[in-house]
Structure 1
Amino acid sequence: MIAVAGAGAFGTALAVALGREGRAVTLWARDLGDMAETRRNARYLPRVELPETVTVTANSDVFHRAEVVLLAVPMQALDGFLERHGAALDGKSLVACCKGVDMATLQGPSAVIAARCPKARVAVLTGPSFAADIARGLPTALTLAGADEALQARLSTPSLRLYRSADVVGAELGGALKNVMAIAAGVVMGAGLGDSARAALMTRGFAEMQRFALAKGARVETLAGLSGLGDLILTCTSAQSRNFRFGEALGREVAFDPAVTVEGAATARAVARMAVRDGIDMPITQMIAALMAQEMTLRQAIQALMSRPLKEE
């Protein structure tokens, strides 16, 4: 049996996609609300009905029975979740479905999981996807890093195509760093700087992503794949991206709904600290971190990026 821990948009969408193919899936949530009765996630995917093969529960005993657990909890909540449920999860196939860097440990999801569940088989699911598209059965391709062929086949469906990768570090850093660049792209559009500026930002942002990831041991081809470039393109060009919308609000200098999870905000702060510590040049990430901390104005941030020394590309 497959369990999905976390009934947010992405966790619910994965449960729907797998359940639609007749696979036994249990969707776990801290607070079910009326989901068990209505068979819908009213908050995140109100128009999508849960298949009959999907069971919803708030009982953590499900983690003892599951063979595979998809961890679809927010990155900043992952360690706390594992602290509470790690004993039941250790030794199982655990798939991280969150993107980011933990603020406390400055680690990605695979390292956080390994620290709490040292006997688990850890994989990372990431790439260009919106939960609504997955839930509707629209064609989506993702990277499944650190998994074998059996897990790849078990989690793939006719509309959800998973590509295996051995580069866990590259896959999770691609998914984390693109969120920061999506915020920056939103800033560009919110400030009215135009599509040409967004294209330049995405290009230089991709170079920045590669520079950081390669310094951490990632493979260059991983960043050029679904979990890096593919996800960057999607989240920098669509208002469906929460990170893009958050950046757009920054660019317009208006408030953003604090109830909406924006993984890239914490990631920007964590990566900015790591970049300073490790001597990695990350001007866009530093700019986003400074904007969020109100250490510089939008005008100052734009001027700082545009006045950097001229150099070869």
Structure 2
Amino acid sequence: MDFRLKVFYTVANRLSFTKAATELFITQPAVSKHIQELEEEYQIKLFDRTGNKISLTQAGQLLLTHTNKIFEIYREIDFDMSSLINQQRGLLRIGASTTISQYIIPPLLARFHQKLKDVKVNLRNGNTEQIENALLNKEIEIGIVEGQSKNKSIKYSPFLKDELVLVCNSKNALVSKTEIAKEDLLNMDFLMREQGSGTLEVIEYALKPLDINLSQLHIEMELGSTESIKSYLVNSDCVAFISIHAIEKELKNQELVILDINNLIIERYFYIITLQGKKDALSELFIKNISNHYNLKL
């Protein structure tokens, strides 16, 4: 029964029998058989099938909610029981917004794994909105995000200070300017992250003292990752606000240059997010490890 639920959980999250089969290392007919047996067990359909696409029925949504809770309990049992024999093992699911997953967290995960080799970590990448939703849906135990929304179900703990800087490629004529004024910003061609990005939220807030709305800026293109923005910048005359952590290599290689903006410094924190009132032993262990690394008090 447990494996059937695991098959259902994987199909429900991937919305694909083929992807679920690949992830679980079983055949697609075996996946179909497990789902069929569950539907026969509960005498109700769990998925609607339209052509090659599937979606959860109301019953499927309800079963997924219960399955999330069951697997959450299993993870806690696994950790607590192993702790009795001085071992720490289990599965920890972490979500990180794009900048953090690419430039901040990989070294932290490597150090964590060196200390706790029996703890398996799954890292999910997405924008801040997607990671917060994954936490609320209990698809992850911990998130690390840019920006800070107002969701009262989420606990936000400051993790690491960051600065967003305005950059362009080193051949851009703007490099000759000593300082960028408000009027200059209104005449530039910008690259921006997509809606739902924590970076976009922070930029929008930081520009308010200059009486600039995002709608006033000329946005040439919205792109879904910092890497794609950097690549576009190198091959265009556009500018973009990017985390200082994300451009160390490009600054060193003199591919990108920081433009100083008159009366504007954009600082923010990256936040560790967990569900309010929810304590998870593995999550606390991970938070403790990264807190010790940065000498934080979380």
Question: Which has the greater radius of gyration?
Answer: 2
> Normalising by the residue count of structure 2, what TM-score does the alignment of the two structures yield?
0.32
The answer to which structure, 1 or 2, has the higher relative contact order (CA under 8 A, 6+ apart) is 2
> Normalising by the residue count of structure 1, what TM-score does the alignment of the two structures yield?
0.30
Q: Higher strand share goes to which structure?
A: 2
